[in-house]
Structure 1
């Protein structure tokens, strides 16, 4: 019979768990911040008739899971405007594209600090 004992393993695993929880919380905050920023920018770029679509986009960010957020319009014509409007098409995609590098850098900076 062979017995193997590793002293300190519980402490190491606890640190990994705490660091993981902290990193997940930080990632969730960064993702929420950038999702709301993208939604605001998309709303500012959206075509305006009554203003309902802009308000709907700004109000749309919601959390799906830790560090997973979503935004977009829930009105039936938002998708059509995003892909077919003559002068303002791509307003949601443009806001995501314009913020992708800033989001990546913020995420790297925050999670590596943990």
Structure 2
């Protein structure tokens, strides 16, 4: 089970800022998305049900860059999805971490763009 955290690329931005500035902005956004993806993974790990600790420990290690501004996290444990969606506890440990991280990520992205374009 994997969750994707991404920020989309806008060709209008490249035209408005120029290639060099747009590339720098893309790097800054990628760093911001990575930081917040790792934070969401840590939150999911903190919220995960613990019997042996294997599920909890698998989540932070799972953060992986797919491409610029696209990061994944999740767990390869065979029961991760069942614990998230089907277990009687309805723990929603991944979803709660994503919901909690969504607004801070949006605010951080806005701040990153504002800094980069000199607002």
Q: Which TM bucket (shorter chain)?
A: 0.7 to 0.9
Secondary structure at the aligned position of 1:71 is classed as strand
The match for 1:103 among 105, 109, 119 is: 105
> Aligned-residue CA RMSD in angstroms?
1.3
Query: Does the aligned pair in 2 maintain the 1:83–1:90 contact within 8 Å?
Result: yes
**Take 1:40 and 1:88, find their aligned partners in 2: how far apart are those partners?**
19
Structure-1 separation of matches of 2:68 and 2:83: 30
The CA distance in 1 between the partners of 2:71 and 2:114, in whole Å, is 21
Quick check: which one's strand share is greater?
A: 2
Whole-angstrom distance in 2 between the partners of 1:59 and 1:98: 20
Q: Which residue in the other structure is 1:27 paired with?
A: 29
Q: Deviating runs (4+, > 6 A) in structure 1?
A: none
Q: Deviations over 1:35-65 (max 9, x none)?
A: 0000001001000010000110110100011
Cα distance between partner residues in 1 of 2:22 and 2:87: 44
Choose from 17, 41, 44 the match for 1:42: 44
Give the gaps of 5 or more residues in structure 1: 1-12
Higher CA-based Rg: 1
Distance, in Å, in 2 between the alignment partners of 1:24 and 1:93 is 27
Aligned residues: 101
Counterpart among 61, 64, 69 of residue 63 in structure 2: 61
Other-structure match for 2:53: 51
